[in-house]
Amino acid sequence: MSGLNPQQREAVQHVETPLLVLAGAGSGKTRVITEKIAWMIGQGHFRANQIAAITFTNKAAKEMRARIGKRLKRKAAEGLTISTFHSLGWQILKAEPEAADRARGISILDQHASADLVRELLPGQVKNEQLYMTMSAIGALKDAGIEPGRALADATSEGEGQVATIYQAYQQRLQELNAVDFDDLIALPAKMLDHPELRTRWRARLRYFLVDEVQDTSAAQYRLLRRLAGESGAFTAVGDDDQSIYGWRGARPENLDQLSVDYPRLKVVKLEQNYRSVGNILNAANAVIAQNPHTHEKRLWSEHGPGDLIAVRDYVDESDEAEGVARDLTAAHGGTTMRWGQAAILYRSNFQARELEKALREYNIPYRVSGGPSWFDAREIRDGLAYLKLMFNPEDNPSFIRVLNTPRRGVGSGSLARLLDFARASKQSLLAAADDGPFQRELPERAARGLRGFINLLVEFSDRAERAEREELGSLFRELLEHVGYYEFLDEQADNPDQARRRKRSLDDLVGWVERLSKDCSSADELIARITLAAGPDDERENADEVRLMTLHAAKGLEFPRVWLVGLEEGLMPHRNSVDEGRIEEERRLMYVGLTRAERQLTISFCRSRRQFGESRKCEPSRFLDELPRELLDWPGKDGRKQVDAGAARDNIAALKALLEG
């Protein structure tokens, strides 16, 4: 444990009572978790297979596995659980499906499949807004642990009654498909663990928990932790109330305070030494977040020295701002040793990336936009994953439905509806129902022939997958896609040859990703779980030498030597909706997250006018700028220096050039 500061060492060695580690930004929380796992195993407190480290992202889990791999010998770490909440919930569901009214071979519906199912249940023509509001309401009910029957009984309006009715039908359909959605991965295990026998079994299996980012836990995740950790509270919870920025998706920062209520013996350790940023950046962040109320006060500090002043720049409009950032990046890259990959541009809303991308292209600056449309949203990826799941589990009902007629096999919507009804009535999987001889004789010959061919295909490749070595699974998956003619199907469906080529390359990326993952997985079950719950192969570009463009929400957990924080205007940061809804404290936490992403240098900018929704409007600087101590800022116009009007300067240069050329 050499190199740990006194507070980190105290957190590592405390196991007698429940522990909350208040870990400020850049304070080494991942190292504390890693060292604590190694210390508990080394001291004989717990075996590796009795410990579970729970993170919020697959990337964080991957990083923790890598650190543990370096810290412990493979045998010592054997059986250690390092996963997300959703992955842990999936383990419980998969091991105990009967307790959730499911059968073996349970499937996970992705967000698209869930949306399609809800859309079918909503009456009339469904607008996207209505669909997403209904899905959000159902998710909130699941997070609160409210069953469909209770939701119906508690409904006090027509709208609530309709949502409860859809919720009931949706859960019934999931049960018929032997499937769960992402919300169920937490809500169902939390409910299942109400059963004393099952709870005792899992507490005996996992005896100590380390939970990262506890401020981001939802109500259901907190319930799941309490069920598993027991009354004694065998856990270390690590979090930072100043970085709770996901209230809009169910995170409850109040769970931090609830811990001391539910566990009176809770010990609190604060990690305030920052190993990331220079002093001026930390002092600015401390000043901003001090405006929020706190149950536990903390103040970050660093041994890195004060560093440069924080640059604050104002621009004419978003085009001027984007060009100013591009010029700064070019100067930093050419005049220093800064690599492109050491820089990030952060913003509040995705639409801000458009002008920035234009400017970066004009200046030939390599970049990558993070947090945009998901790779998994593409139709070819969703189809490919359905075939992959069926290769390992032909009774995966949602995947069966998705690709039964893709490419076309003559099984129309009428035949599919009859198959669904027959499977429901006979309480069989779709594969088993489709293989029923009398049922097939009732279908049109073309549909029956298509069903038989599909079933034979699935059985053949499933048998081969069972016998295949791990390193052969990727090539077998490619063979399956080629066998069904999916690449030719992409040619037929594309609007032009370029689109077909792009989709084929995307599919090849999927196959390559499966090939790489299969070498790291011990079983087909683990491979499917990793793929279903993963973020995609885009993470493999993490070390590419490109400037990163991302929203402030997407930037959490990352750090960069140089950061440009753009668009600091009222109505944008803080966002107008958040101000109207009284969520200014969360917006301030978002500002704090943005400030603390910077290690060495930080530039903040705002515009005097910005075009939005087709109209240009005047802008006021963000209130958060007024919360920054003036002595920490390099802000022309505010510190007595004259502000250079970049737009006017460009006009003057252009006029001079024209005069000389004339």
**Catalytic positions, please?**
29-30, 212-213, 243, 597
473's tokens = 């699974």
E strand or H helix that includes residue 20? strand 19-23
Query: Residue 512: is it exposed, middle or buried by C-beta count within 10 angstroms (0-12/13-18/19+)?
Result: middle
542's tokens = 């993490």
Strands 208-211 and 235-239, how do they pair?
parallel
Compute CA 495 distance to the chain's CA centroid, rounded to the nearest angstrom. Answer: 32
Cis peptide before 574 (omega within 30 of 0): yes
Cis peptide before 407 (omega within 30 of 0): yes
C-alpha 406/C-alpha 587 separation (Å) is 45
C-alpha 401/C-alpha 255 separation (Å) is 40
Instruction: Please report the DSSP string for 300-319 in residue order.
Output: -B-SS---SPEEEEEESSHH
End-to-end CA distance of the chain: 72
- Residue 235 pairs with which residues in a beta bridge? 209
Report angle CA 158, 160, 164 to the nearest 5 degrees. Answer: 115
Cis peptide before 293 (omega within 30 of 0): no
C-alpha 594/C-alpha 121 separation (Å) is 41
**Backbone phi, psi, residue 102, to 5°:** -125, 165
C-alpha 586/C-alpha 578 separation (Å) is 8
E-only strand ranges, 68-216: 81-84, 107-108, 179-180, 208-211
116's tokens = 């399609």
